[in-house]
Amino acid sequence: MAPMTFTYLRDPLQKLYTMRKLVPAFALIAIVNQAQAQDCSELFISEYVTGSGNNRALELYNPTNQAIDLADYKVGRFRDGSGTPMLLSLAGTIAAKGTYVIVVDKRDPNGTGLEAPVDAALQAVADTFVNPVYVQANSPFYFNGDDAVPLIKGASTLLDIIGKIGEDPGTAWSDANGTWWTVDHTLIRKPSIVKGDTDGLDDFLPEVEWDSLPNNTFTNLGWHDCACQTFSVNDVRDARINLFPNPAADKVLMLTASRDIEKVEVFNTLGQAAHSVRFNTTAVREQRLDLNHLTTGIYMVRIGMAGGASVARKVMLGK
């Protein structure tokens, strides 16, 4: 399919009239709504994963100081240059300054081919699993590098997008050097970006707002570094942790932090406390966590640091 082209005119009314003849109603509404976006005021896409097999994921980031109910939000894709999106309604809550990781629901360890399970490390950091069955006519979460991927609020307000509505780039969108970005890569939003891309019709230049990581990199999912954090009431701007390996086959984790660690808590998937340790000494920024007494499964590790900052990560313990 040849990519659609748009004429950008100096007169906004003439531009709008021209686009009305070229693009579907949804895209037109998205353009009109772009003026509503403000810095650090709405959810945006903070990480994008198109890896091998079924490894597909999106991370949403909440830059505000309030938790946000996801019931009014949708994600999906404009397949192969289509102007009409396939959309998937969300549920749950995303915490203030927090992330929400969405992963395609392929978890059968015996699955092969189109049913191959997503990587265990990706499963470990997921907040929700979606779209378990692929149907060609409507499968919102099976983006393959040449699909524009939107975040939408309400009926049609475009909050963010990866790619360009109405354009099929071929295999993937690329940078100025012709290097593919949206396939076999993980993309992370640059810390300086404080709102989503609300113009779905402008050219998508991935290197402007995104950093690119190698194929099947999942280590940054579950947290996001953003300039909006400077507005946090807890001043968590420089509170960062690294927790590895994940999955931890031998149930031993190495923890490093940018601030002194005061407390480590581990919770199971029911929210029940499974392990806790408090440090009374100062300048503890590295710690070995031996969790062999816990059963194999997914846990939430919450690290409390000096200054009141708290960072949480999901981990997979055991094989």
Query: What is residue 227's three-state secondary structure?
Result: helix
Query: What is residue 215's three-state secondary structure?
Result: coil
CATH class for the region spanning 234-317: mainly beta
pLDDT value of residue 279:
75
Count of CA atoms in the C-beta half-sphere (13 A) of 16: 9
pLDDT value of residue 26:
47
List the chain residues with pLDDT less than 50. 1-35, 231-237
Q: Do domains 12-213 and 234-317 have the same CATH topology?
A: yes
- Sorted by where each begins, the domain ranges of the chain are 12-213, 234-317
By the 8 A CB rule, do 218 and 122 touch?
yes
Strands 86-89 and 93-94: unpaired
For the CA atoms of 151, 154, 157, 160, the dihedral, rounded to the nearest 10 degrees, stands at -20
pLDDT value of residue 236:
43
Q: Which helix (H) or strand (E) holds 156?
A: none
Count of CA atoms in the C-beta half-sphere (13 A) of 278: 1
By the 8 A CB rule, do 300 and 266 touch?
yes
User: What is the dotted CATH code of the domain comprising 12-213?
Assistant: 2.60.40.1260
Task: Quickly tell me which residue has 């340790």 as its tokens.
Answer: 277
pLDDT value of residue 167:
96
Rounded alpha-carbon distances, angstroms, from residue 297 to 85, 99, 294: 36, 21, 8
Count of CA atoms in the C-beta half-sphere (13 A) of 229: 21
Instruction: Tell me the one-letter amino acid at 120.
Output: A
Q: pTM of the prediction?
A: 0.70
Query: What is the C-alpha separation between 155 and 26, in angstroms, rounded?
Result: 9
Sign of CA dihedral 236, 240, 246, 248: negative
pLDDT value of residue 186:
96
Estimate to the nearest angstrom the gap between the alpha carbon of 129 and the chain centroid.
Answer: 13
Count of CA atoms in the C-beta half-sphere (13 A) of 81: 12
Rounded alpha-carbon distances, angstroms, from residue 271 to 107, 186, 268, 315: 22, 29, 5, 14
